[in-house]
Amino acid sequence: MNISPADNKNQSAPDAAALRILQKTYGFDAFRGAQGDIIQHVAAGGDAFVLMPTGGGKSLCYQIPALLRGGVGIVISPLIALMQNQVEALQQLGIRAAAINSNVDGNVIASTKDAMLRGLIDLVYVAPERLLMDDFLALLDEAPIALFAIDEAHCVSQWGHDFRPHYKQLSILAERYPYAPRIALTATADAPTRRDIVECLKLQDGRSFIAGFDRPNIHYTILPKESGRTQILNFIRQNHAEDSGIVYCLSRKLTEETADWLSREGFTALPYHAGLAPEIRSAHLARFLKEEKIIMVATIAFGMGIDKPDVRFVAHMTIPKNIEAYYQETGRAGRDGMPSNALMVYGAQDAVMQRQFIEDSDAPDAQKRIEHQKLNALLGLCETAGCRRQVLLEYFGDSCAPCGNCDTCLSPPETFDGTLAAQKALSAAYRTGQRYGAGYLIDVLGGNADERITRNGHDQTSTFGIGKDMNKTEWQSIFRQLIARNLLQTDSEHGGLSMTAQGQAFLREKQTIRLRKPARRAALSRKPSRSGADASVLPDEDQTLLAALKSARLEIARAQGVPPYVIFHDKSLVDMALLKPASMTDMALVHGIGEQKFKKYGPAFLEVIAKFL
């Protein structure tokens, strides 16, 4: 049974009703940005495409309309491992929510299906594969449907960074359930991907809400790789020794080695990748969600849909495949809006590996060209001398002034006229047959007449020794930048460099180029602050109270078997430490405390504050 928009409840004034739910259930005073408009549009029966940065409040855009409308809201999410966590958070708010997937007991599934048919449940989470099964579609044919929410909608598009074939089949919802509004949501999608999502899901007659991409609470730092492990270790020790975070690695082997190494350095670090046994992955995920001070070392398979709001840092030991993936992954830090960090270390070999992955894939040539262009854009971000945030936002069609919260803004790099250096590097590649890697070419430029070079006769080329005016580190940076600018490309399994058409035109037309001046020593560029979100907003005397509030939260969470942030977000605890509420009335002023949590936990935290005072 499908409910027509004309028959649905609360259609006359969803804005007032939505605000009451926001305040009573979620404990927020007012909607942010476009949230109010989106909720009103969907609650009235309209379809929508929503692009909103991670932590921007996307989930409210479908949760509140589902509560306003009659029937059940079906939330389509790609990762079943995380659904229970999302359901637990909703149940803490007093919202009737459940998940149907292979991890859920059969009796519970049967109970949930019965509740769906009787209109006694608000939200049900399913994976696209489950939704598309004949028996589940038959269930939906009979159940009252409030709406369909398609989360992580970039999975629809083959041009996006995480394409899932089953997502394309979700177009069936428009044909089979024409009276149920559909809302597709994502945090990262460039213009071609956005067009593809709207077309694939048949949302052309709906409204698109582009709420911007900026995550101003995240500080971005990107460093040339000198000693990746040392750089990552120093970053964590200096800024996040007491925090939870994610370290991304390119391979399963590197993931396990890095987790072992961080553990030996005194941190609680857990590996996560598709090669681990499912029970190990589940156990590691549960620890990451339910404990504090856990570092998850993972491949890109980890993180989509994670609601953990207190991830304080995301570090990349190797570059991802494009800017969309990078922005999606860094967006897992600071979902609660508190100050957080993103660090990436990169080297020329990273680009070589990513280009080889593209070439070795089964994708058609047209898609390979797009993937190369996207990788070039990411390398351009790595090598930019300007504001990182400006480059990121411009890629997505957004803009901002220099942010003052990235490494290049806080410590602007020097640039120089790199025309002559680029000419030397390109000529060295050409004169040696366009088949050797950057290390070999640097030796030729530096006049290093070792056995390989003399055996190949390259000590007799016109480019031998013409680069002695620069050291190896400087030449490595120049080659990285030339790869980023697409003047050089890797075209063999051994990582040999050859000139692109652009590189040939550069030499032929005597073009000029400015390059980022290589740093003699890569330092961590960061605003001085103590570890964690709390240090940036709390005076010293309130640190003890915040620690006591966190301890009380952890005790309650362990007793209930849920993650601490499901009880209260860090932001709520920081608010308590600042406001020091002395009564239940005062507690109602704290950020993110709705009616149900107010009743459940208010007295316990008031007692902690009273003891402190």
* Res. 529 pLDDT band, cuts 50 70 90: very low
The rounded distance, in Å, linking the Cα atoms of 38 and 329 is: 25
- Mean pLDDT along residues 491-510: 81
Residue 528 is predicted with a pLDDT of 35
pLDDT at 441 over 90: yes
CB-based burial of residue 398 (10 Å sphere; 0-12 exposed, 13-18 middle, 19+ buried)? middle
pLDDT at 609 over 80: yes
pLDDT at 94 over 70: yes
Residue 294 is predicted with a pLDDT of 94
Residue 376 is predicted with a pLDDT of 78
- Mean pLDDT along residues 270-295: 90
Residue 210 is predicted with a pLDDT of 87
pLDDT at 58 over 50: yes
- Mean pLDDT along residues 461-479: 89
pLDDT at 523 over 80: no
Check residues 209 and 10 and name the one with the higher pLDDT: 209
Instruction: Supply the mean pLDDT for the chain.
Output: 85
Tokens representing residue 470 in the block = 């620069």
pLDDT at 404 over 70: yes
* Res. 115 pLDDT band, cuts 50 70 90: very high
* Res. 315 pLDDT band, cuts 50 70 90: very high
pLDDT at 298 over 50: yes
Residue 78 is predicted with a pLDDT of 83
Residue 181 is predicted with a pLDDT of 96
Helix (H, G, I), strand (E, B), or coil: what is residue 306? coil
Residue 312 is predicted with a pLDDT of 94
Beta bridge partners of 344: 222, 316
* Res. 1 pLDDT band, cuts 50 70 90: very low
Residue 117 is predicted with a pLDDT of 94
Residue 613 is predicted with a pLDDT of 78
Residue 305 is predicted with a pLDDT of 57
pTM for the structure as a whole? 0.71
* Res. 325 pLDDT band, cuts 50 70 90: confident
pLDDT at 137 over 90: yes
Residue 532 is predicted with a pLDDT of 40
pLDDT at 416 over 70: yes
pLDDT at 339 over 80: yes
Residue 574 is predicted with a pLDDT of 86
Asked, colleague to colleague, whether 5-210 and 537-612 share their fold, the answer is no
* Res. 353 pLDDT band, cuts 50 70 90: confident
pLDDT at 608 over 70: yes
Residue 159 is predicted with a pLDDT of 59
Residue 484 is predicted with a pLDDT of 64
Check residues 348 and 596 and name the one with the higher pLDDT: 596
The rounded distance, in Å, linking the Cα atoms of 164 and 493 is: 28
For the chain, the helix, strand and coil percentages under 3-state DSSP, each to the nearest 5 = 50, 15, 40
The terminus-to-terminus CA distance of the chain in angstroms comes to 57
Check residues 147 and 167 and name the one with the higher pLDDT: 147
CATH 1.10.150.80, applies to 537-612: yes
Residue 438 is predicted with a pLDDT of 84
pLDDT at 158 over 90: no
Residue 301 is predicted with a pLDDT of 60
The pLDDT tens digits for 24-50 are 888 888 898 889 999 999 999 999 999
pLDDT at 14 over 80: no
Residue 494 is predicted with a pLDDT of 54
Check residues 530 and 342 and name the one with the higher pLDDT: 342
Report the 3 state secondary structure along 239-283. Answer: HCCCCEEEEECCCHHHHHHHHHHHHHCCCEEEEECCCCCHHHHHH
CATH, domain 415-516, list 3.40.50.300, 1.20.1260.10, 1.10.10.10, 3.40.190.10 = 1.10.10.10
The rounded distance, in Å, linking the Cα atoms of 346 and 329 is: 16
pLDDT at 370 over 80: no
Residue 379 is predicted with a pLDDT of 85
Residue 582 is predicted with a pLDDT of 85
Q: Where are the domains of the chain?
A: 5-210, 218-410, 415-516, 537-612
The fold of the 5-210 domain, in CATH, is: Rossmann fold (3.40.50)
Contact 344, 318 (CB under 8 A): no
Residue 375 is predicted with a pLDDT of 85
The rounded distance, in Å, linking the Cα atoms of 142 and 338 is: 44
Question: Over pLDDT 90: what percentage of the chain?
Answer: 42
Please state which architecture CATH assigns to domain 218-410: 3-Layer(aba) Sandwich (3.40)
The rounded distance, in Å, linking the Cα atoms of 503 and 49 is: 40
The pLDDT tens digits for 552-589 are 999 998 898 888 888 888 888 888 888 888 888 888 77
pLDDT at 530 over 50: no
What DSSP assignment string belongs to 432-488?
A: TTS---HHHHHHHHTT---HHHHHHTGGGSTTTTTTTTS-HHHHHHHHHHHHHTTSE
- Mean pLDDT along residues 439-464: 91
The pLDDT tens digits for 226-264 are 888 899 999 999 999 999 999 999 889 999 999 999 999
Beta bridge partners of 556: none
